[in-house]
Amino acid sequence: MNRGGRPALRPWRFIVAFGTVSLLADFVYEGARSVTGPLLASLGASALVVGAVTGAGETAALVLRLVSGPLADRTRRFWAWTIAGYTLTVVSVPLLGLAGVLWAACVLVVAERVGKAVRSPAKDTLLSHATAATGRGRGFAVHEALDQTGALIGPLVVAGMLALTHDAYGPSLAVLAAPGVATLAVLVWLRLRVPDPAGYERAAGPTRWSTAPTEEEPPTGSGRRIPMERGFWAYAVFSGVTLAGVATFGVLSFHLVHHRLLPTAAVPLVYAAAMAVAALAALATGWAYDRIGPRALAALPLLAAAVPGLAFSTQVAAAVGGVLVWGAVMGVQESTLRATVADLVPPGRRATAYGLFAAVTGGAAFLGGLLSGALYDRSVHALILVTVAIQALALVLLLAGAAGHPVRFRSRRTPPRTRDRP
């Protein structure tokens, strides 16, 4: 820390460094997730086992945040939770390539997802402090863009290694140990340079669109409970309704192959393009959020409503365009939604809020996958109509803003201040 309690790094440098951590970690675990199904199958797993194991992993990644978030708030050991979660992930992946029996591979697949549950609420809380000085939307957007870059690189590297080694999973996943070590090295360096990122938020004061009370954090173990803002729940409902009306990539890619619009080998390329669009959408809506506030979130239901009409077309250009719009929805979801949570919830309960929010949106996304798959089998026209109706409801919820509290479209009048620039 510098004199006066200011962190040693400028806010943007902290955000970019944390984004680099996410880039390297995504390199590792997205690379592994791109081949999880075939790897388990090579060890004798049936389709049922693959579905059960990957489903259990995703459930653990969401449900356990309901535990890790409150614990992080209670102990105030955000760095410890973050480092522990990343360590579990980057250790599990290379070992997955060495697993010679099915049960060990299944345990490691779930362990990697548990690592995400352990770290995510604490990590988002640490990041939220720095975004108070840069602009919530822009800060989370830059972090998400770096995150998505890793999600692109990892699967491509693993695919290249599989081609070079004639589908040998051991060396293809072992190569991911290098970015795993780099993940922990950058993370520990960042922890040593900025042991208390909350100093960013204390120095910046309330953000332009903040509606959370500016309360001091309770002492560790004090037992004092800072109340969750009512607006957080209204916002969580809006986000959940929106995501309940979004099809999964699995359904979108099924359509592309089922109607022979694209060869199977081209589907990963379309997914990569969608991730690139996600990064751009995160940046665009993040900047918009800092300028016009929650009104920028209206883009989410509007984009989501357009997805099925395009993506489930029998024309190649329209279908691919729909997948790209879906990528934009994912980009807004992963960046600007997290920024708004930070503005709605005081620091003392922010990790808890991120855990709850992930559970709500994750459950809604699961329902969205079930709904879109069921309706697709019956009628694409019905799927389009239902999706549009759901997104119209979400837009009404946003505009109503729970009777104006507190997802509203005016800023709290705070004194102007100079913001750190990238």
**Number of other residues whose CB lies within 10 A of the CB of residue 134:** 24
Whether residue 158 is found in the same domain as residue 303: no
Integer Cα distance of 343 and 363 in angstroms: 23
- Are 285 and 177 found together in one domain? no
Same domain, 277 and 193: no
Residue 5 reports pLDDT greater than 80? no
Tell me: do 380 and 246 sit in the same domain: yes
**Window from 8-22, 140-154, 242-256 with minimum mean pLDDT:** 242-256
Radius of gyration, alpha carbons of the chain: 21
**Would 75 be classed as within a structural domain?**
yes
pLDDT at 406 over 90: no
Structural domains in the chain (count)? 2
- Position 163 scores a pLDDT of 82
pTM of the shown model: 0.81
Q: What is the pLDDT of residue 33?
A: 80
Per-residue DSSP letter, 165: T
- Domain boundary pick from 149, 170, 204: 204
| pLDDT (tens digit per residue) in 222-274 | 444 545 566 788 888 898 999 888 887 777 877 887 888 877 667 767 877 88
Token pair belonging to 328: 């934009």
In a domain, 1, yes or no: no
User: Is the same domain home to 295 and 385?
Assistant: yes
Q: What is the CATH number of the domain that holds 38?
A: 1.20.1250.20
Residues 182, 257 within the same domain = no
Looking at the predicted structure, is the pLDDT value of residue 379 above 80? yes
pLDDT band at residue 71 using 50, 70 and 90 as cut-offs: very high
pLDDT confidence bin for 213, thresholds 50/70/90? low
Same domain, 36 and 177: yes
Structural domain containing residue 182: 8-204
In the prediction, which pLDDT does 401 show?
Answer: 64
| Domain identity same for 96 and 186 | yes
**Same domain membership, residue 283 and residue 180:** no
Contacts of 372 (CB under 8 A, 6+ apart): 246, 247, 248, 251, 308, 383, 387
pLDDT confidence bin for 179, thresholds 50/70/90:
very high
Which whole number is the average pLDDT over 312-326? 92
What average pLDDT does the segment 191-200 reach?
A: 93
Poorest-pLDDT segment among 117-121, 194-198, 360-364 = 360-364
* pLDDT band with cut points at 50, 70 and 90 for residue 412: very low
Closest by CA to 356, choosing from 248, 244, 235, is: 235
Asked whether residue 209 is assigned to any structural domain, the reply reads: no
309 has pLDDT over 80: yes
Could you say which of 169, 204, 239 is where a domain stops?
Answer: 204
What average pLDDT does the segment 40-44 reach?
A: 86
Asked whether residue 269 is assigned to any structural domain, the reply reads yes
Question: Does residue 2 lie within any of the structural domains?
Answer: no
What whole-number distance in Å separates Cα of residue 338 and Cα of residue 319? 29
Which of 204, 219, 242 delimits the end of a domain? 204
Q: Is residue 249 part of a domain?
A: yes
pLDDT band at 336 (very low <50, low <70, confident <90, very high): confident
- Distance between CA atoms of 234 and 72, rounded to whole angstroms? 24
Domain-located, residue 225: no
Residue 392 lies in a domain: yes
Query: Quick one: 367 and 324 in the same domain?
Result: yes
Between the CA atoms of 112, 117, 119 and 120, what dihedral angle is there, to the nearest 10 degrees? 120
